[in-house]
């Protein structure tokens, strides 16, 4: 098998995920599909491609659809490097709101667009109005794509997801990170990559606080990152009432939001938005017990 034939089959494989007119009533493809891979994504998403690459982008195929009454929709199927990457990009793009659909994993229909993930694929379908005819078309396209994605991967979350305590967690708030861009989109800790993270997760709880868990290769790496963060927080104008201890940082941002940061084994744990340091201490204690 030569490389050219292997590449052709891979590209054909992605195009085979596109519904045909016979598979979606009253809808058909409008013009030819477009496909972007690697750095070419910057030609398609000007100014927004970096986050896809951070999560592990490989390629995307884009196909527009139109029905006989002139309604339009656009389908994007992203192939990511792993199911974790697809899930992470899904959490970045999805608000967690909207009508839940039994399509793929996590499918939510909000206004006139929907997102879901399945295996290493992330699917986004966007209508150009919120008319029932358009929404029905989005659902039909989504159902066909879901059936076409044949994968052995199940809907298991990344391992770090299990580190988040489930009690009082807003499941729709969870964000999974594979780098700094995802992290600072959730909360702008700094203008630079002070945590040097490779993987992390965040969840919001019913009492109004957020928990962040950043994971490193070992305890030494997390301690080195924490020692660097201590200096960065101290020198950042954004923060006030900064208290730095051997294994704990307490501070407030310019909006008065309290933040506590602490290393633990191969993790850096962050509690954001508590009412007092004492509450943060209890949350961190419970979090460590949960991780154990």
Q: What is the per-residue DSSP string for 52-107?
A: HHHHTEEEEEEEEEEETTS-EEEEEEEEESSHHHHHHHHHHH--S-SEE-SSTEEE
Q: What pLDDT is recorded for position 25?
A: 86
Q: What average pLDDT does the segment 130-142 reach?
A: 96
DSSP code, position 157? P
Find residue 176's DSSP bridge partners: 201
Instruction: Encode burial over 224-253: b for 16+ CB neighbours within 10 A, e otherwise.
Output: ebbeebbebbeebeebeeeeeeeebbbbeb
Residue 169 to residue 182: CA distance in whole angstroms: 20
Q: Domain coordinates of the chain in residue numbers?
A: 3-148, 159-291
Find residue 105's DSSP bridge partners: 117
> Which tens digits make up the pLDDT trace of 144-164?
999 999 876 566 789 999 999
Contacts of 7 (CB under 8 A, 6+ apart): none
CATH topology of domain 159-291: Protein Transport Mog1p; Chain A (3.40.1000)
> Which tens digits make up the pLDDT trace of 242-292?
899 999 999 999 899 999 999 999 999 999 999 999 999 999 999 999 998
Token pair 């839940």 in the structure block, residue: 100
> Which tens digits make up the pLDDT trace of 3-59?
333 344 455 678 999 999 999 988 999 999 999 999 999 999 988 999 999 999 999
Please indicate whether the domains covering 3-148 and 159-291 agree at the CATH topology level: yes
Q: What pLDDT is recorded for position 155?
A: 66
* Beta sheet of 240-244, edge-to-edge order: 175-177, 199-204, 210-215, 267-272, 258-264, 249-252, 240-244
Q: What pLDDT is recorded for position 8?
A: 44
CB-based burial label for 45 (10 Å; 0-12, 13-18, 19+):
middle
Its CATH class, for the domain covering 3-148, is alpha beta
Q: What pLDDT is recorded for position 177?
A: 97
Q: Which of 153, 201, 209 is nearest to 174 (CA)?
A: 201
């Amino acid at each position: 098998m030569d490389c050219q034939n292997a590449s052709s089959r891979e590209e054909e494989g992605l195009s085979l995920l596109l519904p045909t007119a016979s598979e979606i009533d009253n809808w058909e493809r409008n013009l030819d599909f477009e496909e972007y891979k690697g750095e070419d994504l910057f030609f398609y998403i000007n100014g927004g491609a970096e986050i896809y690459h951070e999560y592990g982008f490989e390629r995307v195929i884009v196909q527009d659809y139109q029905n006989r009454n002139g309604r339009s929709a656009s389908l994007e199927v992203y192939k990511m490097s792993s199911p974790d990457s697809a899930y992470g990009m899904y959490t970045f793009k999805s608000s967690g709101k909207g009508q839940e659909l039994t399509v793929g994993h996590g499918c939510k229909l909000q206004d006139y667009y929907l997102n879901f993930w399945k295996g290493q694929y992330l699917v986004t379908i966007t209508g150009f109005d919120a008319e029932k005819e358009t929404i029905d078309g989005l659902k039909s396209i989504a159902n066909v794509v879901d059936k076409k994605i044949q994968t052995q991967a199940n809907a298991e979350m990344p391992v770090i997801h299990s580190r988040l305590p489930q009690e009082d967690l807003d499941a729709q708030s969870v964000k999974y990170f594979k780098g700094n861009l995802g992290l600072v989109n959730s909360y702008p800790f700094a203008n630079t990559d002070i945590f040097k993270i490779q993987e992390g997760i965040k969840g919001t709880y019913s009492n109004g606080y957020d928990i962040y868990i950043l994971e490193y290769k070992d305890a030494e790496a997390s301690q080195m990152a924490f020692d660097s963060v201590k200096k960065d927080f101290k020198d950042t104008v954004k923060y006030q009432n900064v208290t730095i201890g051997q294994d704990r940082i307490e501070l407030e941002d310019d909006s008065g939001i309290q933040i506590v940061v602490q290393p633990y084994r191969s993790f850096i744990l962050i509690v954001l938005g508590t009412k007092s340091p004492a509450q943060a201490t209890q949350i961190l204690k419970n979090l460590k017990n949960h991780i154990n």
